[in-house]
Amino acid sequence: MSQYDHKKIEKDWQKEWANNQTFKAENTSDKPKYYVLDMFPYPSGAGLHVGHPLGYIASDIVARYKRNKGFNVLHPMGYDAFGLPAEQYAIQTGQHPAITTEENIKRYKEQLDRIGFSFDWSREIRTSDPNYYKWTQWIFIQLFNSWYNPQTDKAESISELVSTFEKQGYQSEELQFTSEEWIGFDEKKKSDILLQFRLAFLSETMVNWCPALGSVLANDEIKDGVSERGGYPVERKLMYQWSLRISAYAERLLQGLNTLDWTESIKDSQRNWIGKSEGCSIVFEGDEALPNSLEVFTTRPDTIFGVSYMAIAPEHELLNDLCVVEYREAALQYAEKAKNRSERERQSEVKNITGAFTGSYVNHPFTGKKIPIWIADYVLGGYGTGAVMAVPAHDARDYSFAKHFGLPILEVVQGGDVSIEVYEAKQGKIINSNFLNGLEVKEAIKAAIKAVEDKKIGKGKTNYRLRDAVFGRQRYWGEPIPVYYENGIPKTFDEKDLPLVLPEIDKYLPTETGEPPLSRAKEWTYNGYPIETTTMPGWAGSSWYFLRYMDAQNENCLLSKETVDYWQNIDLYVGGSEHATGHLLYFRFWTKFLHDIGVVPFDEPAKKLVNQGMIQGISSIIHRVNNTNKFVSVGLKNNFETSSVYIDISLVKNNEVDVEGLKKWRPSEFENAEFEFENGLFLASAEVGKMSKRWHNVVNPDDVCNEYGADTLRLYEMFLGPLQDAKPWSTQGIEGVLRFLRKLWRLFHQGENESFLLPDTEPTKSELKILHKTIKKATEDIENFSFNTSVSAFMVCVNELQDLKCNKKQILEPLIVLLSPYAPHICEELWRQAGHKESIVYANWPQFNPEFLVENEFNYPISFNGKVRFNLLFALDKDLKEIENEVLANEQTLKYLEGKPAKKVIVVKGKIVNVVI
C-alpha cells in the first residue's frame, strides 16, 4: 500500500480492536487505575451529529494516553434510554418505546464505532434494561428506608429511628410525641410520621404541572416558564407526590464543591442553586386585635428597626385569619388572583408591583410600634416562612413596594441616600436603632440575633433555596417505583422481588380520569395490593450509572465491594455544562447517600469535570416573497416583504444555493417556484444556532468519516479550538488536517514507489530536538486539555521533519505513539508496518529528555523603548553586563540612539534586551 487509504485502514483496525477486545478493562490489576467517563447519551431518533462526539473524542484521547502511560483504564459507554421522545412517539404511533429505543441505540452504536472510540463495550449499560433498573429500584428502597440524622450528619436506617421513637419518643418544633404515644399510634399514623423522615417520601407539594405532557416537572426541567422538552406551558398545582429529600444534603453538597476540580462556573451554579443564606427567624406578636403571631426569616436582623410593614405570600397559611372585615374581600380576591398566576405570568410581570393590605397589624418586638401586614406576590410561599419583615430602605423589592403603596422608608444603615435609591450594601454604621446604634452591619447582625434569642422570639438560622426533588412522573417510559399500598399505607417491595418490570399496556396516554398510563396495566398488583402508578424521572438512572460500569454484569448486588474499592470514583468526567444544576447535583446526592449506607467508599462521584462546548450548526435561509411562490437572492430581499425559509445546508456552498438540488429536495415546495438571481447567483443568508433537524443544519459524522476519515474527524474536532468553547461547525479547514495525515504517511513512504521505509539510523541532534519538543508539548497539552494546540504541535513537527527529509525509526516511532490517541487508526497501521506485533494502544509513552532542548545561545530581540528593532545572537551563559556593552557598541544601536545617551539598559536572560532612551 502506498497511498493513505483511510477507509480501508479504519475499517480493518476497528474490526481488529473489536475481535481482540483491545479495550477491555480488567477489574484487578497491578497497574494504577484511571476512570474516564463521558456523560452517556439519550439515544434520540435523529442519530448523532458532529457535535456529539466532541467530548467523546477528548475523553478518548485521555483514555488512550493513560493506557500508553501504563494505567489500567476504565472507559465505558452506555445509554440513558428512558425518556420522553420515545414515549411521545409511542403515543403517536402505538409503537412500544422499547422498540424505538432499541433501534436508536443500534444506530448510535454504529455511528460511535466508526469514530474509533476505545470503549470497553463489554460493560455497556442501558437504564431501561430491567437488569439495570432493578438496582435503581433497589436504591429507591434504600432511600425509603433511610432518614437523615442531623446529629451524625448522615443517612441512617429508619428502623433505628423507629426504635428511638419506641424508647424516647420525639421532640422538635414541628412534632412532639412520647414513647408511649408512639407505641399507641396506629399503623397509618406511624407511616405518616415516618414519611416526614424518609429520604424517599410522599407529601402534598406544589408541583410544576405540564398539562400538555401530562406530567409534573422538576425545576431544572423548566426553562423560561415552559417545559424544557417541547416548550409547553407549566402550571403550579398541589399534588400528593413522591419526592427525594435532597435538601437534607444541602450543606454537604455545598461543602463538597470545595474539594472538586470542576470549573468555577459550574460550582457557582450549584452554589447559587443550593442558595445557602444565614440569618435568623423572628416572631412578631400580633396586637390585641390579632391573636396570631407571624414568623419571618431574615438575613438582615440588623435592620429590624427599619421595618415599616410585613409582607406575606398569597399562599400564607394564616392569610384567612389575618384579613380583617373591611379589607377582607379585596385582600382575599387579590391573594386568589396572585396564587393562580402561572410561572410565566409571574415572570413577565416582575416589574409590575401588586399587593393588598390585610387590615391587621403586628407589634414591633423592640419598639412596640404597630406594623401593618400586607399581602405581596413577591413573597414566595415555599421559601423561609412565607413572610418577610420589609425594610424598604435596605431591600430593593421592599423599596419599590413601599414607594408604590406610599409606605414609610426608614434609614437604619448609613452609606446611601434612601430618599433617592435603596441602599443594600452590607456596609456602614447602624443608626436610628436603639441598642444597635453605632455598630457596623456585621456586628449588628450578631447583636440583633443575640437580642432576638435573649427575648426568646427567634433564633439564628440557615436556610437553603434547594427544594426537595419531585420524583414521580405520570409517564410510562421510566422505572416503575417499587411501592405498593396496603390499605393506603405505602410499602416497598421485597428486594428479592426486584426488578419490578414495566407492564405491557394498550395505550401510552394517561387515562381519561387523568391517572398515569400505568393504571391501564391489568392486574398491576403486589400480593393483591395496588402498585404505585407513577414512574421515576429521567434523572434516576443517570444518578448512579457510573458505578454500574465497574461491575456491569453483577447479579447479586449493585456492584461488588472489591470492584468499587479498586476503581473508586471517576478521575475525569466529560460532558455538557447544561447539566450543572440537574444531573450533576442528583448524581452527587445519590453518591453521598450510597456512601452513607456503605455501598461506596467515596462521597463525590467525579474528581475532575470538563465541560465541552456546544458545536453549533450554521443554517441557511432563503427568502420567500410574502404570499407568493417566488424566492429572491439575499441581496434583493430588501426590495420585498419576505419571510425566511430554512433549507438543508448540504444544498449550499459559500452561501450559494444549488437551485436544481433544492427543487429535488422538496419538489412540492420548490419545483414550480420562481427564483430571482443576483449576478447570476442565488444566495442564502446564514445563521449560527443549535444543530437540529428543525433547521436542516445537521451534519452527520458518518458523512465526514466517509469523505475524510475518522482520524481526520477526530483531529479536526480537536483542532477547531479550545474544547470548552462553543463553536459553529464549518468544514473550512478540515482539508488541512487531512493534508497533515497524508504528509505523515509520506514520511514513512519515501522509498521507491512510495514503499514503506523506516531505517534504523542514528538521528541527528536537530531531529531529536524536534521530537523532544513535540513530546514535551503533547504531554503537557493532554494534561491541560489543550488539544487544539497539540494538534498544531504535531503539524509543526511533521513539517519540520519533512524539511529535513527525516524518516528515521528512532524519530518516527515515538511520534506515532504521541499521535495515536488523536489519530489511532493511521498510527496503528504505521506501527504494524514498522514491524510491531503488539497494538500501539499499549506502547510506552515516549519519555521527554530535556537535554535535547538545551540551547547555548539565544537570538536576543533588541528593543528601544519597548519597540523591537533587530536581533543579536549571544551565548546564554554570557555575562549580562557584557551583553549590555556589546549592544550599546553595536552600530545599529547607534542609529536608534540618534546621538542621545541610553538612560538605562535592561537585559533579561534568554528573553529580551530593552534600551531606554
Minimum gap (Å) between residue 149 Cβ and RNA: 25
Report the residue number, 550 or 652, with the smaller CB distance to RNA: 652
Minimum gap (Å) between residue 870 Cβ and RNA: 8
Instruction: Give the whole-angstrom CA distance, residue 607 versus residue 568.
Output: 10
Rounded to 10 deg, the angle between the 97-114 and 84-93 helix axes is 130
The 8-class DSSP code of residue 337 comes to H
Minimum gap (Å) between residue 503 Cβ and RNA: 35
Instruction: Give the whole-angstrom CA distance, residue 108 versus residue 849.
Output: 43
Report the residue number, 504 or 752, with the smaller CB distance to RNA: 752
Instruction: Give the whole-angstrom CA distance, residue 643 versus residue 258.
Output: 51
Report the residue number, 108 or 708, with the smaller CB distance to RNA: 708
Minimum gap (Å) between residue 219 Cβ and RNA: 6
Minimum gap (Å) between residue 887 Cβ and RNA: 13
Residues 42 and 80 sit within 8 Å (Cβ to Cβ): yes
Report the residue number, 445 or 552, with the smaller CB distance to RNA: 445
Minimum gap (Å) between residue 428 Cβ and RNA: 17
Instruction: Give the whole-angstrom CA distance, residue 359 versus residue 374.
Output: 8
Which of 886-912 are b and which e, b meaning 16 or more Cβ less than 10 Å from the residue's Cβ? ebeeeeebeebeeeeeeeebebeeeee
C-alpha cell at 819: 499521535
Report the residue number, 377 or 702, with the smaller CB distance to RNA: 377
> Amino acid identity, residue 869?
R
Residues 760 and 753 sit within 8 Å (Cβ to Cβ): no
Report the residue number, 313 or 322, with the smaller CB distance to RNA: 313
Minimum gap (Å) between residue 222 Cβ and RNA: 8
Instruction: Give the whole-angstrom CA distance, residue 107 versus residue 114.
Output: 11
Minimum gap (Å) between residue 463 Cβ and RNA: 6
Instruction: Give the whole-angstrom CA distance, residue 486 versus residue 825.
Output: 60
Instruction: Give the whole-angstrom CA distance, residue 487 versus residue 345.
Output: 41
Instruction: Give the whole-angstrom CA distance, residue 302 versus residue 506.
Output: 63
Report the residue number, 644 or 730, with the smaller CB distance to RNA: 730
Report the residue number, 382 or 667, with the smaller CB distance to RNA: 382
Residues 718 and 58 sit within 8 Å (Cβ to Cβ): yes
C-alpha cell at 230: 417541547
Minimum gap (Å) between residue 401 Cβ and RNA: 9
Minimum gap (Å) between residue 345 Cβ and RNA: 9
Minimum gap (Å) between residue 143 Cβ and RNA: 24
Bridge-based pairing state of the strands 572-575 and 609-611: parallel
Minimum gap (Å) between residue 376 Cβ and RNA: 8
Minimum gap (Å) between residue 812 Cβ and RNA: 16
Report the residue number, 380 or 636, with the smaller CB distance to RNA: 380
CA dihedral angle for residue 823, residue 824, residue 829, residue 835, rounded to 10 degrees: 120
C-alpha cell at 618: 450554521
Report the residue number, 237 or 739, with the smaller CB distance to RNA: 739
Distances (CA, A) of 547 to 43, 459, 565, 591: 20, 42, 11, 9
C-alpha cell at 187: 399503623
Report the residue number, 57 or 559, with the smaller CB distance to RNA: 57
Instruction: Give the whole-angstrom CA distance, residue 374 versus residue 389.
Output: 10
Report the residue number, 276 or 429, with the smaller CB distance to RNA: 276
Instruction: Give the whole-angstrom CA distance, residue 206 versus residue 630.
Output: 52
Tell whether omega for the bond before 499 is within 30 degrees of 0, i.e. cis.
Answer: yes
Strand arrangement of the beta sheet that strand 370-376 belongs to:
355-363, 370-376, 309-312, 387-390
Report the residue number, 419 or 732, with the smaller CB distance to RNA: 732
Residues 72 and 64 sit within 8 Å (Cβ to Cβ): no
Residues 143 and 202 sit within 8 Å (Cβ to Cβ): no
Instruction: Give the whole-angstrom CA distance, residue 720 versus residue 831.
Output: 27
E-state strands within 444-551: 460-463, 469-470, 483-486, 489-492, 525-526, 529-530
Instruction: Give the whole-angstrom CA distance, residue 564 versus residue 598.
Output: 11
Instruction: Give the whole-angstrom CA distance, residue 20 versus residue 320.
Output: 74
Minimum gap (Å) between residue 605 Cβ and RNA: 21
Instruction: Give the whole-angstrom CA distance, residue 571 versus residue 799.
Output: 35
Distances (CA, A) of 778 to 62, 579, 771, 816: 12, 30, 10, 12
Minimum gap (Å) between residue 155 Cβ and RNA: 24
Report the residue number, 273 or 284, with the smaller CB distance to RNA: 273
Instruction: Give the whole-angstrom CA distance, residue 478 versus residue 476.
Output: 6
Report the residue number, 190 or 236, with the smaller CB distance to RNA: 236
Minimum gap (Å) between residue 70 Cβ and RNA: 23
Report the residue number, 49 or 300, with the smaller CB distance to RNA: 300
What φ, ψ does residue 490 adopt, rounded to 5°? -70, 130
Greatest distance between any 2 Cα atoms in the chain: 107
Report the residue number, 663 or 742, with the smaller CB distance to RNA: 742
Minimum gap (Å) between residue 124 Cβ and RNA: 30
